[in-house]
Amino acid sequence: MGQRAAIYCRVSTADQSCERQERDLTSFAVRARYDVAGIFKETGSGAKLDRAERKKIMALAQARQIDAVLVTELSRWGRSTIDLLNTLRALASWNVSVIATNGITFDLSSPYGRMLTTFLAGIAEFERDLISERVKSGLAAAKARGKKLGRQTGQRPKSDRLAAKVLALVAEGRSYRWIARDLGISKNTVADIVKRSKPVESGQPLPNQVWRDTDGKGPMNWQ
């Protein structure tokens, strides 16, 4: 059996097709005598973070089920120089190469591959510096315009977003502990949401609420 390769195709928009990439990569695999372990196709911009098909290939590489990743060009694989460098290093640790049909092969075990990695690392550091500089510049400009940055006092974006769901689950009789675990928040956050939903002046329960120990450990809460 020859070396196993995963074919990866990506287009940026839904009106584009992976057909040409798939055809070229399949022909390349035949000529190079690779056994194709799978063809993975997805649509998304280079900056898109959630690239499920690429994650599947990384999982195959980690499981030592492939020896190479075939792409038409490196821009199809990496979102940025930093991302490309990080994924190449991860693949190299599993002895998997990235091979582009334009002739570029990233095999980090070879002198050529290590040289390219050094070159990419320099570009990646330059990109990080540029991003940092742009962020600092943007923050300074926002402050100069009088814009307040960061979360302000009294703002609770996550708990406010989940408040309706929390109160609905409380109304169903769910315990604070169960709600916190189900929604991925703390029990104290659940309690705060319920507390804020109570009438402030009278201190009386809302309609259809009862005074109940919700999780068997107190304190008693309106439900």
Catalytic residues, which ones? Answer: 12
Residues 6+ apart with CB under 8 A from 16: 43
Q: DSSP for 23-35, please give it.
A: HHHHHHHHHTT-E
Q: Is 135 left (phi over 0), alpha (psi -120 to 50) or beta?
A: alpha
Token pair listed for 68: 């190479």
The rounded distance, in Å, linking the Cα atoms of 8 and 76 is 8
| Residue 33, token pair as written in the block | 């005598």
Rounded distance between C-alpha atoms, residue 108 and residue 123, angstroms: 17
Could you tell me if residue 66 is left (phi over 0), alpha (psi between -120 and 50 degrees) or otherwise beta? Answer: beta
Helix residue ranges, H only, the chain: 19-31, 52-62, 74-77, 81-93, 111-144, 157-171, 176-183, 187-197
Helix (H) or strand (E) holding 71: strand 68-71
